[in-house]
Structure 1
């Protein structure tokens, strides 16, 4: 019997990091409940993610679902330029998935009996024996461990580190997907087995295939992209982030809610600036959406019986494709610390925190430097090994 049998954990935030931590805590013997503030299942707005080893580890080691059931794989990383000319090509395999596919797979493993939608956690207190969480619905829950995994705009982070600020990077990401079967044969052939970059002055686009509802076979997938474009902070950004309903987004503007004039300008710019294959992917997207690129990092991730993980602890630019990997790594490291601490939750969190703070600091420094090279100094060089994906370093 586990030393944590009979103990209770509450996880705030039902995204990938929250689900991964909940699954691992349950394996340790905790009774775990997840509380997600949105009233319906999360959808990720159709975006893709690169699956690094920490992200996939649950499916490789603990799940009856296989990694290949929830992901696609490409064998190359390539750079293209005007005329679709390939200027650099490197044999490197990566796995990819759609955010929604991966979320649904984790949720299927966790189950719905202890996954609570429409519950907004607005505060908590703790003493030496337990932590008590308060919700706007009036619900109050007590636990031996609280994991805060409610994202970059975390409502509960301030009780751990009140000084965390979101700092705008100077650019946004246009994101979207297009059915691979709708692409011209030339574009589909060029892109189907690669992560593909197209670098243009003060901008870049990254593309790779992800699963669709039809499956993971070539021709059934979606081509996913993120195109980074500079937008000045202030009124220009505020106006761009005002959706069709008149609401201003903080971190994103959802599909079908971006003002048409901005989509029209983006498509015109793609046709003028990008390589033909990249331009085709962008201009063929029915409902592109906007993701704001922010930097944030907590200098404290543990307090007593409370742990802060994932984007709530460190919001890192996507250039290293490490956001979901960092959340998963936080969860696995927390599980290891709890295992080695023989039932002492506060001791486990004290052991866990320094390594995760260092990982956050190193990751954020690296992706900020990558972003500067891409968007402002025009020194993102095709084939540069320092620009590879990786949570722990380039290619790692």
Structure 2
């Protein structure tokens, strides 16, 4: 019998990291409830995810769902010049999914009985015997373990490390998707079996295919284009959406002011023509503010932070979801080894995860600076490869 049979875990945040954590804790014997702040089912706005081993590990080791049913794959990494010529190409296989596809796969395995929408955690207190989570709705939840997986604006992080605040990078990511069949035949042929880069002064774009709503057979071409926007009034004005509300970490599709969309599409002429076509055909591009944050603590008694709640890294290593999953798997391993002592497990788990976060942030900050400010991003440089634990790792 597991030492955690009868123990309760509250996971705050019902996204990919939260669901991965919940599934692993349930396998250990915990009764797990997930509390998601948004009142409606989550929607990743079609964004793409590069699948790394930690990200997909649940599906390869524990699930009856097959990873191939949730993903697309390409065989090359390539850099394009201003005429769609190939500056550099490596044979390197990567797989991808869409945020929504992956989320729905995890939720299907977890189920909805213990998945609660519209519950915003606002505080937590604890004793040696357990923890109490308080929600703005008035709900109070008693738990033996509390895991904050509530993302880049984490309430949990503000409780464990109030000094850890978002630090703007100096640039934003324009994101979007286009049905592959809406692209010209030449562009489909050039981009369809690769992750493709177009590097221009103080900027670069990454383009790759992801599954559509009906699965891998209905592919979308997904991209992230990094563009510099000075902090201050210029950024503040851009982040006011069409409703007059101010975004902090993103602006949703359809909410970016038209003048910014028009300027972005015009500026795309500087990219490789294939990349420019993908940008130009995007019906509703949206904006992700690229920021860094890292908590100096990931554990306090029976309370843990994972994923972006603990440390949010720029996307250049394609490691955000992988880091959340790695945190979750390491936490499960520590709990299993601790034989029922939750606080001891968290103490053992924290140092290595803090170190992993620190190394990742240092690397992606360097990559971002090379692209956006120093113009030292060299096509084919192996130090620029994706990877949570290091380039290509």
Deviations 1:62-117 (A, max 9, x none): 00000001011111100001110100000111110000000000000000000000
After the TM superposition, which residues 353-392 of structure 1 pair with which residues of structure 2 at under 5 Å, given as runs?
A: 353-392=350-389
C-alpha distance in structure 2 between counterparts of 1:213 and 1:166, whole Å:
32
C-alpha distance in structure 2 between counterparts of 1:314 and 1:139, whole Å:
28
Q: Is it true that 1:246 corresponds to 2:220 in the alignment?
A: no
Q: Once the 2 structures are TM-superposed, how far is the Cα of residue 214 of structure 1 from its aligned partner?
A: 3.1
Q: Is it true that 1:304 corresponds to 2:323 in the alignment?
A: no
Deviations 1:331-378 (A, max 9, x none): 000000001000000000000000000000000000000000000000
Q: What stretches of structure 2 of length at least 5 have no aligned partner?
A: none
Q: Is it true that 1:334 corresponds to 2:331 in the alignment?
A: yes
Aligned residue in 1 for 2:156:
156
Q: Once the 2 structures are TM-superposed, how far is the Cα of residue 45 of structure 1 from its aligned partner?
A: 1.2
C-alpha distance in structure 2 between counterparts of 1:373 and 1:114, whole Å:
45
Structure 1: 4+ residue segments shifted above 2 A: none
Q: Is it true that 1:3 corresponds to 2:6 in the alignment?
A: no
C-alpha distance in structure 2 between counterparts of 1:215 and 1:130, whole Å:
43
C-alpha distance in structure 2 between counterparts of 1:132 and 1:215, whole Å:
40
Aligned residue in 2 for 1:179:
179
C-alpha distance in structure 2 between counterparts of 1:371 and 1:267, whole Å:
22
Query: Which SS does the other structure have where 2:216 is aligned?
Result: coil
Q: Once the 2 structures are TM-superposed, how far is the Cα of residue 160 of structure 1 from its aligned partner?
A: 1.1
Q: For the Cα contact (< 8 Å) 2:8–2:30, is it kept in 1?
A: yes
Aligned residue in 1 for 2:81:
81
Q: For the Cα contact (< 8 Å) 2:176–2:279, is it kept in 1?
A: yes
- Equivalent of 1:290 in 269, 287, 292: 287
Q: Is it true that 1:137 corresponds to 2:137 in the alignment?
A: yes
Deviations 1:184-206 (A, max 9, x none): 00000000010100000000000
Q: Once the 2 structures are TM-superposed, how far is the Cα of residue 213 of structure 1 from its aligned partner?
A: 1.8
Of residues 357-366 and 208-217 in structure 1, the stretch that sits farther from structure 2 once superposed is 208-217
- State the number of aligned residues: 393
Query: Which SS does the other structure have where 1:376 is aligned?
Result: helix
C-alpha distance in structure 2 between counterparts of 1:212 and 1:169, whole Å:
31
Of residues 175-184 and 158-167 in structure 1, the stretch that sits farther from structure 2 once superposed is 158-167
Deviations 1:194-239 (A, max 9, x none): 010000000000000000023213xx20000000000000010000
Deviations 1:100-158 (A, max 9, x none): 00000000000000000000000010000100000011100000000001001112222
Q: Is it true that 1:61 corresponds to 2:61 in the alignment?
A: yes
C-alpha distance in structure 1 between counterparts of 2:213 and 2:32, whole Å:
30
Q: For the Cα contact (< 8 Å) 2:119–2:137, is it kept in 1?
A: yes
Q: Is it true that 1:264 corresponds to 2:244 in the alignment?
A: no
Q: Is it true that 1:100 corresponds to 2:100 in the alignment?
A: yes
Q: What stretches of structure 1 of length at least 5 have no aligned partner?
A: none
Query: Which SS does the other structure have where 1:83 is aligned?
Result: coil
Please give the TM-score of this superposition, normalised by the length of structure 1. 0.99
Please give the TM-score of this superposition, normalised by the length of structure 2. 0.99
Q: Is it true that 1:169 corresponds to 2:169 in the alignment?
A: yes
- Equivalent of 2:235 in 226, 234, 237: 237
